[in-house]
Structure 1
Amino acid sequence: MGMLYLIRHGQASFGEACYDRLSPTGEIQAALLADYFKKTNSIFDEIFSGNLSRQKKTAQILMQEMPDNIHATQLIQTPAFDEYDSEGVFREILPEILSENEKAASDFQNIIQDKGAFQRILSGLLDRWMHMEEGEYPLESWHEFRERVRRGILDLDLQGKKKILIVTSGGVIATCMHLFLEIPPKKAMDLSWQCMNSSMSIWIAKEKDFRLHAWNHAPHLEICGRQDWITYR
């Protein structure tokens, strides 16, 4: 049986002009994960990432910090493991929500300072996105995103006892929970908000069947004694 490790990227630069880059904390989280893999003698055959900067940088740190633990010498980048188009969701759907909902408009004023306001806004956006009609917005739909992730996972070669690392994002990890555990889409996406940066979700693969071994597993963060290194966005 093969094993698939889905790694959420390290902390990105929330609140800054360019979100899609690792923060200093994100780089530390990736290095701590690499150290954990070295200490546990975890060996991987291949490493993949999406094309987003925060995903690629996390994967590159893993490769740099534990070269003897990854047989592959090249990172395989594929859009299959990119996050859903969050910028597009905000750009296309947010104006409608703000015009319809006074509470949402109030939350939007505090979206950077207030994590609760950000989560309420994001929840409303994702609900609208996941129920959008075909062609309603110029965006990749939820159904298209889900199919992209499904194809990316099923196209992996996990025969024998291969172990594969994929550095991706919370939405992709949540979608796998939906696809392989049949968790309702909205509930699965809600789980993504609890997914820690640099955490592991581990799946055991037998042919095209995937069984969950661990979700949101982050011993490398729990043992470091630094609460500020445990982040969710």
Structure 2
Amino acid sequence: MATARKISRKELKKPDEFVQTGQKAARWAGDNARTVFLILAAVFAAGILVTLGAWWADSQENEAAEALGRALEVMERPVLSEAESADRDDPYFTSEEEKRKAVRAAFEAVRKEHPGTEAAAMAELHLAALDYDAEDWDAALERYQRFLAEASPTNQFRSVAYDAMVNIYLAKGDKEAALRTLEEMERSGNAYYLPFALARKAELLYELGRIEEARTAAQTVVDSYASSPARAAADALLRKLPPAPEPAPNAEAEPASETP
């Protein structure tokens, strides 16, 4: 059995390592008070900067959202004739051209004054819609692509941009580009719009003569998204498709040769 070692009086009086370290740290802090103060001030300032950064980001988004709201109010102003505007005090436009210029300027101001915000991305979406309405396809495509690059992944209007891009490619006669856009829309992960993308993809595959791929896409909508409004289009396409080819019969196995 091991014998317990007795601790001498000298060892009892000797401070342990933890106490010694604490005492040394206290002495160092006392001798270097200015340095300690600067370190603590730096740590405190860093915490303040993080807090202010979060507050500033929220503040920027709020200001940008308010600016976007004002631009939307401009877009909602009516175009009135002189007779229609006689008894009105609220703002209005006297021509469609005047309204288009004012609306474009309002959304461009949001982008210029609040870059990097979600509101700026939404302003780009509205500018794309203006180009779309004017059938300026190349300008609209560029703006829709910029919106998709800037908007957050959870922005529900991403699908609107994809859908408009599909229409533009079809207007330009580029069905393959439209198909690629629909496939990108599928990968975007928006659960609500996914069946619509699949149904439209099925229609496009049918037009391209890729019948079995069209059947697969339409059947996916019917089987996996039965409650979606997109099912009606998928059902209609399936009824329009020719019957699916019969599976090739398995070749009959040759009889084994008899061994003598």
Same topology, TM > 0.5: no
Higher relative contact order (CA 8 A, sep 6+): 1
Higher share of residues assigned strand: 1
TM-score by length of 2: 0.21
Q: Which has the larger radius of gyration?
A: 2
TM-score by length of 1: 0.23
Higher share of residues assigned helix: 2
